[in-house]
Structures are given as C-alpha cells and as structure tokens.
Amino acid sequence: MIRVALALLLALAAGPAPAVEFKASTPTPMVFAVRDRDGGVHAGAELRARITLVHFWATWCLPCREELPALKSLQDDMRGAGVRVAAISIDRLGWGAIDRTIAALDVGGLAIYHDLDREAAKALRVETLPTTILMDADGQEIARLNGQGDWRDPALRRAILARAGK
C-alpha cells in the first residue's frame, strides 16, 4: 500500500506526460508506392494534398487501433483546410484483417492503403508503429511523429494547420 502511494506521489510530482509533437524534418522527397484494396499501385505523389498525414499502422498494434478513430475525425474536420490522411497498413495478413479492423473501429472513409512487403515503410525509414509523416504539397517529408499522437488535441491540430500554411 505504501509503495502504491509513493509511486502515485512520484507520478504526480513528475507532472503530466510531455505532449507528443511532430519533429521537423529536412525536406526530403517521399518516394514510395502502396496498394489500394483493388490491387492498384499508388505512388506517394498521388496521395499529396496541401498537407498529407502519411500514417503507418497495423491491426495488431494497439496504439494504432486506438488512434484510427481520432485520425478519421481529424480527416473529417480538416478536409476543408486541405489536410488529407493516408493510412498505410503493414499487415502481412492482407485486406481481410485490415477490413475487419476498419469495420470494428467504424473508420470507413479513411483512405486506407496496404504495404504488404513493407517496401514503403523501408523507403521512408519507418522504425516504429505508429509513425506519421507529414508530406507537403510538393511531396516532401517536412515532419515526423514516431509513436501515438493525440489527434483530437487542439495544439497538435494547430501544428498541422501551421505546416499546411493555414
């Protein structure tokens, strides 16, 4: 009991967890390709908008599953500002697993792509899941967030809009 109380006091003294933020990247062309549900190949350049969140995830990644509904909300709320979300699954089990997860989380409407052989993830140096890369209108990586983001956080949304020039 004393240990639990001590741990709680230490956690409170440490303050809130730091906010997860995008880290600026040296602008670098994002050269990659992914597949849609019908097997069509899409180059990264085809996914461009004023700002695109290129989001790597997997069905077995719990933080990824937690943030997909918030990413859908972000996409719906910020579409008018030229913000797009491209959610790229690296699942080896394919579209069956992806579709079951999308249905279970009620996030139909997100632009979902598949990176079966993880070639896009390798090309973009994705080392952790989830990873979100901000791509500008010129197809350049301008920022990256390794780990889970709080996509409903107004400060994070403002940071995205600022990079979109809005």
Instruction: Tell me: pLDDT of 98 over 60.
Output: yes
Instruction: Tell me: pLDDT of 66 over 60.
Output: yes
Q: What is the pLDDT of residues 121-145, one digit of tens each?
A: 999 999 999 999 999 999 999 999 9
Instruction: Write down the pLDDT at residue 97.
Output: 96
Q: What is the CA radius of gyration of the chain?
A: 17
Instruction: Tell me: pLDDT of 5 over 60.
Output: no
Rounded to an integer, what distance in angstroms lies between the CA atom of residue 68 and that of residue 66? 6
Mean pLDDT is lowest, of 6-20, 58-72, 134-148, 150-164, for: 6-20
Work out the widest C-alpha separation in the chain, in whole angstroms: 59
- Provide the whole-model pTM: 0.86
Instruction: Write down the pLDDT at residue 10.
Output: 32
Q: Which helix (H) or strand (E) holds 27?
A: strand 23-29
* Token digits of residue 130: 């989830």
How many percent of the chain have pLDDT more than 70?
87
Burial of 126 (0-12, 13-18, 19+ CB in 10 A): buried
Instruction: Tell me: pLDDT of 19 over 90.
Output: no
Q: Is 105 helix (H, G, I), strand (E, B) or coil?
A: helix
Rounded to an integer, what distance in angstroms lies between the CA atom of residue 137 and that of residue 149? 22
Q: Is 6 helix (H, G, I), strand (E, B) or coil?
A: helix
Instruction: Tell me: pLDDT of 69 over 70.
Output: yes
Mean pLDDT is lowest, of 66-70, 92-96, 161-165, for: 161-165
Q: Average per-residue pLDDT in the chain?
A: 87
Q: Checking DSSP bridges between strand 33-35 and strand 23-29, what pairing results, if any? A: unpaired
Q: How confident is the model at residue 20 (pLDDT cuts 50, 70, 90)?
A: low
Instruction: Tell me: pLDDT of 161 over 50.
Output: yes
Q: How confident is the model at residue 111 (pLDDT cuts 50, 70, 90)?
A: very high
- Torsion angle of alpha carbons 126, 131, 132, 133, nearest 10°? -20
Burial of 133 (0-12, 13-18, 19+ CB in 10 A): buried
Class of domain 20-164: alpha beta
Query: Phi and psi dihedrals of 61, rounded to 5?
Result: -90, 110
Q: Is 36 helix (H, G, I), strand (E, B) or coil?
A: coil
Domain boundaries, given as residue ranges, for the chain: 20-164
